[in-house]
Copies of this chain bind each other. A is one copy, B any other.
Amino acid sequence: MADRDETRGLSTAARLRGGRRGLTLRMLGAELGLSTATISLALRDSPLVADATRLRVQALAAEAGYVANRSAASLRTARTNMVGVMVHDVINPYFAEIFRALEAALNERELAIMICNHADDIRRQRTFVDTLMQHRADGLIMCPAIGTDADDVARIVDSGLPFVMICREVADIAVPMVRGDDFAGGRALTRHLVAEGHRRIAFVGGRRATSAGRERHAGYVAALAEAGIEVDPLLDVPETMTQAAVREAATTLLALPSPPTALFGFNDLVASGLMSALRHAGLEPGRDVAVAGYDDTDGAAWSAPALTSVFNAAEEIGSLAASLLSAQIHGEPATPTRILIEPELRIRASTRFVPSA
């Protein structure tokens, strides 16, 4: 009872709790007069430990707030129940739909899904990837940041970390990948706007250093070319992804001597900003200027006017990515499966004005 004086009145558990995160198997063992090995076995419900001892150990551990150090455990066992998901824009509802599907498919209750918002900062992406590797995460699903190259991706795959790429593609490397066919979607939407009689169609947003930005734009260019419409560089406003940038782009476009009659927003967030900007300028979206988005996120169909958009299969992308990841977690090799999902044009009032509505 050498420690009696300083801890008078405190229970054993409270005294151990006082040690905070330093609480170890050894401390529990010293307290109970048992070896560290016995404590460890008891906490893992080993039949090698007598029931009474096991219960005594577990009771004290629970009372003292002992947390197994998974870092050490993961040196022995493969699973850490930690999966990373990286995207460039966490507030885009399209990604929220993908997260939801991932969580459902991966059974999130037993898994900590750690989201990283890299905001297209390659250094931030690298920090996150390194942290996941160092902590031996079970897997990584990633929409790669601008600047990600084949070496960056090879480093992840070569480390053995189960890995799936979504939404954006990186040149010169084949890895498990799921995304929508952005070229087909961009072309379908632009063909629709041309068919509605538009010749001055602006393309707003999308980063050309990404496959999504390049391909939706290439689809737009292809559809204009088919119709014999020359691409006007004044109507091409890439890289505008924040709401502030979208407003500025809209203001500039509307001030042109020959302003656009239709606006193709790179995604629904951009389209929603464009609608606000039109109203701000005293123009009614749908009636005065056609507006369309991409992704067909929740709310597009219900906005006023209802937003024409390209359905981009968030749920399917999320659940396919989860399957590809699960297969690797269960030991299958990371074969370069490349899944391209056909998008679907959904025409609504924002590009087809109905006066009576």
List residues of A whose CB falls within 8 A of some B CB.
Answer: 17, 20-22, 65, 67-75, 80-82, 84, 90-93, 95-96, 99, 108-117, 123-124, 127-128, 130-136, 155, 158-161, 243-244, 247, 273, 276, 279-280, 298-299, 302-304
Contact of A276 among B113, B133, B280, B303 (CB under 8 A): B303
- How far apart are the CA atoms of A95 and B127 in the complex, in Å? 22
Q: Which of A93, A112, A244, A303 has the most C-beta atoms of chain B within 10 angstroms of its own C-beta? A: A112
Q: Is the CB of A90 within 8 A of B99?
A: yes
- How far apart are the CA atoms of A75 and B303 in the complex, in Å? 53
New A-B contacts (12) at CB < 8 Å, excluding given A67-B133, A69-B136, A109-B124: A21-B136, A21-B161, A71-B72, A71-B136, A73-B134, A81-B127, A91-B95, A108-B124, A109-B127, A112-B132, A244-B298, A279-B304
Q: Is the CB of B96 within 8 A of A91?
A: yes
> Contacts A96-B90, A279-B304; is A243 near B131 (CB within 8 Å)?
no
Chain B residues positioned under 8 Å from A133 (CB to CB): 67
Chain B residues positioned under 8 Å from A96 (CB to CB): 90-91, 117
Q: Is the CB of A111 within 8 A of B127?
A: yes
Report the minimum CB–CB distance from A78 to chain B (whole Å): 9
Q: Is the CB of B131 within 8 A of A112?
A: yes
Report the minimum CB–CB distance from A278 to chain B (whole Å): 8
- How far apart are the CA atoms of A304 and B280 in the complex, in Å? 6
Q: Is the CB of A134 within 8 A of B69?
A: yes
Q: Is the CB of B70 within 8 A of A131?
A: yes
- How far apart are the CA atoms of A75 and B111 in the complex, in Å? 23
Chain B, residue nearest A20 (CB): B160
Chain B, residue nearest A97 (CB): B91
Chain B, residue nearest A123 (CB): B109
> Contacts A114-B115, A135-B70; is A160 near B75 (CB within 8 Å)?
no
Q: Is the CB of B247 within 8 A of A302?
A: yes
Chain B, residue nearest A110 (CB): B127
Q: Is the CB of B280 within 8 A of A70?
A: no
- How far apart are the CA atoms of A84 and B112 in the complex, in Å? 11
Q: Is the CB of A276 within 8 A of B302?
A: yes
Chain B residues positioned under 8 Å from A112 (CB to CB): 116, 127-128, 130-132
Contact of A82 among B67, B131, B304 (CB under 8 A): B131
- How far apart are the CA atoms of A22 and B160 in the complex, in Å? 8
Chain B, residue nearest A82 (CB): B131
Chain B residues positioned under 8 Å from A20 (CB to CB): 158-160
Chain B residues positioned under 8 Å from A74 (CB to CB): 71
- How far apart are the CA atoms of A69 and B131 in the complex, in Å? 10
23 residue pairs A–B, Cβ–Cβ below 8 Å: A17-B158, A65-B158, A69-B134, A69-B136, A70-B134, A71-B72, A72-B75, A80-B131, A90-B115, A91-B91, A91-B96, A99-B117, A109-B127, A111-B127, A112-B116, A112-B131, A113-B117, A114-B128, A115-B115, A243-B298, A276-B303, A276-B304, A280-B304
Chain B residues positioned under 8 Å from A273 (CB to CB): 299
Q: Is the CB of B116 within 8 A of A116?
A: no
Chain B residues positioned under 8 Å from A244 (CB to CB): 298
Q: Is the CB of B67 within 8 A of A134?
A: yes
> Contacts A90-B91, A115-B117; is A67 near B124 (CB within 8 Å)?
no
- How far apart are the CA atoms of A21 and B156 in the complex, in Å? 10
Report the minimum CB–CB distance from A149 to chain B (whole Å): 15
Q: Is the CB of B155 within 8 A of A65?
A: yes
